[in-house]
Amino acid sequence: MPTTPTTITTYDNDTHRDEVVQLWRSVFGYDTPHNAPALAIDRKLAVYDGLFFVALNDDAVLGTVVVGTVMAGYDGHRGWIYSMAVDPNYRGHGLGSELLAHAEEQLAGRGCLKINLQVLPGNGNAQAFYEANGYVVEERISMGKRLFT
């Protein structure tokens, strides 16, 4: 439960890395090497696009802690949303929506006209969350190809 208002800011590798890794491990339970949190962070930082954000809570006991993340991408044609995560103890208070709105504002500021995102089958909670934030299911076939194994 949030004890103080949270703030959303750009990810800082020196300050936020360990807590983001911990949050992603607990929320996403990654099981494939290419999804390892540390690797995902390093690859994102390597593109220098400033589209990686964290939500911070100033806890009286713990100090400032990372309680949410969102990663966005923009290739000049479409925007994408990834790694949308809120600490279970902080859910249900609008924080996910705030993070998403922040990413949307940053994408819009870069001229992005439309955002796409993917939700795994069976993640009805995430689908409901995105629908509550104005996203609609579009009839598309999602395809992918691994360039590295």
Ligand X SMILES: CC(C)(COP(=O)(O)OP(=O)(O)OC[C@H]1O[C@@H](n2cnc3c(N)ncnc32)[C@H](O)[C@@H]1OP(=O)(O)O)[C@@H](O)C(=O)NCCC(=O)NCCS
Provide the binding-site residues for ligand X, judged by CB under 6 A.
Answer: 27, 84-86, 91-97, 119, 123, 125-126, 128-129, 132
Integer-rounded Cα Rg, in Å, for the chain is 15
Q: Residue 2: which of 100, 54, 48, 68 has the closest Cα?
A: 68
| Smallest distance, ligand X to C-beta of residue 80, A | 11
For ligand X, the closer CB: 14 or 114: 114
Chain centroid to Cα 33, Å, comes to 19
Token couple for 143? 């395809």
For ligand X, the closer CB: 99 or 112: 99
**Interhelix angle 13-28/37-45, nearest 10 degrees:** 140
| Smallest distance, ligand X to C-beta of residue 30, A | 12
| Smallest distance, ligand X to C-beta of residue 55, A | 9
